[in-house]
Amino acid sequence: LPEYRYWKDDKDGDEEDDSKLVFAGGYNLWKYNALDAINTFKLYHAILKQLDIARSLPQAEEQFSTIEVFLRIMMKGVKVDIDVRSALVTSMTTYLQHAREYLFQALKTSLNPESPKQLNELFYTQLKLPVQLHPKTKQPSCDVDALEALGKIEPIVKPLARAINYIRSTTGLIANANMPLSQGNRAHTFYNPGGTETFRLSSRKNAYDEGSNLQNLTSGNREKAKTFWDWMPNLRTMIV
């Protein structure tokens, strides 16, 4: 469609909140959504023809049949038990504080586990460990896999690497648990039945910045955890 423009290419200004964006043409996301629906409808018959050629029409129809179901689920949302969520967040925050204290005692200085610059300085400049490169960027990396590899190369830094990975993952879990809710304590997330090659349902925050990626709600591993750093809470218990 020659008149179609991707909304991020048409926005005016540097607004971080997409729901408040005003585009170069003077319209906002609501108008863009309507135009996008019209453009999608224009493409509908062409898409069906291509699916038929690819012999994927039955597969596509099966996917299309789930859209209305997931729309109803998105509109209703999933109920969150606030008391359970509060208890989970409290316990994770306590464990997170213990991990931060351990990290400070081990290094005798503060360290931001979210700072690639500080981590690279620590592991590759100060400790002079073999530089681990990111498989895609080929740049020095201190991501989860890199720190696990360093722990195997030099066992003495393994507790340090595990603590850093624990702090990063737990910080993310707390953010996921504290996802924004609507009235009635419901999580309204966006479900995408066609977002993966395996047809697995994916989810993420909706257009109103509510909910979260529910796939990030861990099922817990208390019985399998061998050490403190391996423990992961069961966040799914807060969903009613």
Question: Could you say which DSSP state residue 131 is in?
Answer: P
20-30 mean pLDDT: 57
Q: Which spans in the chain are helix H?
A: 29-53, 57-64, 67-76, 82-107, 116-120, 144-153, 158-177
- For residues 200 and 84, which has the higher predicted lDDT (pLDDT)? 84
Give the model confidence (pLDDT) of 78-109 as tens digits: 999 999 999 999 999 999 999 999 999 999 99
Which of 25-29, 45-49, 128-132, 217-221 shows the lowest mean pLDDT across its residues? 25-29
Which of 40-44, 80-84, 138-142, 230-234 shows the lowest mean pLDDT across its residues? 230-234
Taking residue 163's Cβ as centre, other Cβ atoms within 10 Å add up to: 23
Residue 29 burial by Cβ neighbours in a 10 Å radius (0-12, 13-18, 19+): middle
Our separate counts of H helices and E strands in the chain read: 7, 6
Which of 49-53, 56-60, 72-76, 227-231 shows the lowest mean pLDDT across its residues? 227-231
Contacts of residue 194, Cβ cutoff 8 Å, sequence gap at least 6:
63
Tell me the residue length of the chain: 240
- How far apart are alpha carbons 86 and 148 in whole angstroms? 31
- How far apart are alpha carbons 99 and 194 in whole angstroms? 39
pLDDT for position 26: 53
**pTM summary value:** 0.72
Q: Taking 60 as the threshold, does the pLDDT of residue 118 lie above it?
A: yes
67-85 mean pLDDT: 91
Q: Taking 70 as the threshold, does the pLDDT of residue 16 lie above it?
A: no
If residue 11 lies in a helix (H) or strand (E), which one and from where to where? strand 11-12
Give the model confidence (pLDDT) of 122-142 as tens digits: 999 999 999 999 999 999 999
Distance from CA of residue 229 to its chain's centroid?
A: 21
